[in-house]
A and B are shown apart, each in its own frame.
Chain A
């Protein structure tokens, strides 16, 4: 039995759902990066180019999110993500997946905590923002960094 025989069984419903779960995570990562980056740019420079562009094309954000959801959903090939189905239950309760989620969240927390000092220095002193906007920038940067780190690490740990 070759490795490819073992790993390329895409007709297996469990594999289809697992690929869907992974693609969903990638889509969430993509959306978080866009929203977090845009939010941070708006806070740091409300009159900047990103703020002007996002004000002109604000309607694009929901459109992009819906398109991403439709594209990811289409990879299910006429199946439905039903939390009560045995395949979805097997994926959601999968030990390897849970282990990787735990590891990713632990490392993401460490990264966010370690980033507070340089972020505070950067936002509070270097950018010279007023206190309220500096706090908002810190919060947005921390949440975005944490989510991106968590999702990227999970996708890395959970790779084939």
Chain B
């Protein structure tokens, strides 16, 4: 299992945590949890979904670890390919800042839908909720983010290009 899916977990953890050593730790921890749980799964597709769920939970806890926050906001490892498939490092830094403060369930939903690009239908079983609830979680996350950025920008907590609120405006 590690040989088949280790790279999938590692690559995703690297995207979320932005640090190779953290991603390595995450990969180890995810597989330890998988092997200890011994939960049943039917087929490779369900296994990958399970690995995504455990990786999300682990990485989100790391992001929310107050002792580590500063590192996560200062460092971003990104593939050195300048094309449209690559997410802006500044955007991921801002997203981690938000995820570190957001409600945990809302943060999980935001990772699946915004960072992983899942549909509500894909995200719902990973979150263990209905599609409608996914939408509700994201609506609350979006409103909360707008308020956070407005407050942070006004207080000067956010500096540089991310201070511009125009990049994060509530959806209508």
* A is bound by B: no
A residues with a Cβ closer than 8 A to B are: none
